A and B are shown apart, each in its own frame.
Chain A
């Protein structure tokens, strides 16, 4: 097994560990929370027409 493969396997191991931790704690770096911006009250309607 080449050195690059060993490094890649370690990377995958770390990635799986981080994924397990995120799954256990319900964490996601992509969730955008926060309050609605002040004055953010736009009129809405259908967008397909």
Chain B
């Protein structure tokens, strides 16, 4: 190990606290920024590790791998949340699966801090001066609760540059356990000699880049988030649910307070089965304003029959015609499962947004008998069943049909579609939030 010759600080170096050393390995100038606190210093030029505690600084080890340049150069100064920091050290670490970078920050009045870069976001770390409370799965610190994020794991230092207040070296391994709440992580690092707690607060995108004058990093919502990275979709999902709920209440209120149906006309007609179509003009139907019109037919006497009804609502003034058709039917019988019936002899159809005016309702009706109907029990004649078929015994009676016209009311389909449209975005936002949380918890889900 060679010795280091101390040389005067450069005239361009702003702070007087910086001492310039010469690396015994490469001869390059090395700045010592936290003299008196720094234990080891890694050469900025060759990454050789030097012992800064000895007045005659010695070479501890040469770099085992190629030199790397951190994104934030050593010596950079920046202000985060009103506190000025200077980057004095840099190390890269890995847990075997992911890698991240840690910048050691120094302020003569605040001590040391960390700027941790996980590749997506930056977090500002401060070493805790008191232990968190609570049990193993949940901790409390500063009135907040932190949940344990997975199991403990080994963290290995893979690259070191700059000065550190301990003997930092490549290959240094600690056991790490993390506890998180959205935006903040408590990291516990243990080795054989000590245990250190660090509070890492995630910084807003762009803040550290602006502070240290590096290119802003694009915000990425894909990939694996940090354990304490708050979901960017959480607030949007909450806001969307609130707005969607308010819109739902408004839609329900409109539907509730929309005037209901009012009967505008009611008439009757009788339709002989299996006969020619019968045409009847009913009315007048008065519509004072544009409204929904519903035409209902009620034929309770239907028995294994159906009635085809063709309606034409004709404006007396303009002869404009609004057509619709319906079928009222009812069938019944008996089989091995017992008696059955189908249909109730009613039919209702609505017309949308009929203009105001005086209308006639032209009804074309035709009734038909179901060919597959079971014959009724033959009548008893003198204590014996008659052999005569029923339909030859008497002609079927005409089917009475009551037709009523009502105006007003709203369509349920509109409300259903409006509710579906309202809740599309909240569902998308919640799914994106759930997807983010799934990715965030993926490291512990895979274990």
Residues of A within 8 A of B (CB): 1-2, 4-5, 8-9, 11-13, 15-16, 18-20, 22-31, 33-36, 41, 43-49
Q: How far is the CA of A45 from the CA of B353 in the complex (A)?
A: 33
> DSSP class of A's interface residues: helix, strand, loop or mixed?
loop
Q: Which residue of B lies closest to A20 (CB)?
A: B254
Interface hit among B47-55, B193-201, B410-418: B410-418
Chain B interface residue bracket vs A: 35 or more
CB-based contact A15/B247 at 8 Å: yes
* B residues in contact with A8, CB < 8 Å: 239-240, 243-244, 425
Q: Which residue of B lies closest to A33 (CB)?
A: B324
Q: How far is the CA of A15 from the CA of B350 in the complex (A)?
A: 23
* A residues in contact with B333, CB < 8 Å: 46, 49
Contact of B308 among A15, A28, A41 (CB under 8 A): A41
29 inter-chain pairs at a CB distance below 8 angstroms, sorted by A residue, are A1-B239, A5-B239, A5-B240, A5-B243, A8-B239, A8-B240, A11-B425, A13-B247, A15-B247, A15-B421, A15-B422, A16-B250, A16-B251, A19-B255, A19-B418, A25-B290, A25-B353, A26-B291, A26-B292, A26-B410, A28-B353, A30-B411, A30-B414, A31-B351, A34-B323, A43-B368, A45-B372, A47-B342, A48-B342
Chain B 300-313 interface mask (CB, 8 Å, partner A; 1/0): 00000010101010
Known: A5-B239, A12-B244, A23-B258. 12 other contacts (CB 8 A): A4-B240, A5-B236, A12-B246, A16-B247, A26-B410, A28-B353, A28-B413, A31-B350, A34-B323, A44-B368, A45-B331, A47-B342
Contacts A2-B236, A47-B342 hold; do A9 and B353 have CB atoms under 8 A apart? no
* B residues in contact with A23, CB < 8 Å: 254-255, 258, 410, 414
Q: Which residue of A lies closest to B326 (CB)?
A: A36
* B residues in contact with A20, CB < 8 Å: 254
Q: Distance in Å from the Cβ of A17 to the closest Cβ of chain B?
A: 10
Residues of B within 8 A of A (CB): 235-236, 239-240, 243-244, 246-247, 250-251, 254-255, 258, 290-293, 306, 308, 310, 312, 322-325, 327, 329, 331, 333, 335, 340, 342-343, 349-354, 368, 370-372, 407-411, 413-415, 417-418, 421-422, 425
Q: How far is the CA of A47 from the CA of B330 in the complex (A)?
A: 11
Q: How far is the CA of A14 from the CA of B258 in the complex (A)?
A: 18
* B residues in contact with A29, CB < 8 Å: 352
Contact of B236 among A4, A15, A43, A47 (CB under 8 A): A4
Q: How far is the CA of A21 from the CA of B314 in the complex (A)?
A: 25
Q: Which residue of B lies closest to A4 (CB)?
A: B236
CB-based contact B254/A16 at 8 Å: yes
Q: How far is the CA of A15 from the CA of B419 in the complex (A)?
A: 9
Contacts A8-B425, A16-B247, A19-B254 hold; do A31 and B352 have CB atoms under 8 A apart? yes
Name, among A4, A18, A19, the residue most crowded by chain B CB atoms within 10 Å (CB to CB).
Answer: A19
* A residues in contact with B351, CB < 8 Å: 31, 33
Contacts A5-B243, A8-B425, A26-B409 hold; do A44 and B327 have CB atoms under 8 A apart? yes
* A residues in contact with B236, CB < 8 Å: 2, 4-5
CB-based contact B414/A28 at 8 Å: yes
Contacts A26-B408, A44-B329, A48-B342 hold; do A19 and B251 have CB atoms under 8 A apart? yes
Q: Which residue of B lies closest to A22 (CB)?
A: B414
* B residues in contact with A35, CB < 8 Å: 310, 312, 323-325
Name, among A15, A30, A45, A46, the residue most crowded by chain B CB atoms within 10 Å (CB to CB).
Answer: A46
Q: Distance in Å from the Cβ of A40 to the closest Cβ of chain B?
A: 8
CB-based contact A19/B239 at 8 Å: no
Q: How far is the CA of A41 from the CA of B409 in the complex (A)?
A: 31
* A residues in contact with B340, CB < 8 Å: 46, 48-49
Q: How far is the CA of A44 from the CA of B82 in the complex (A)?
A: 83
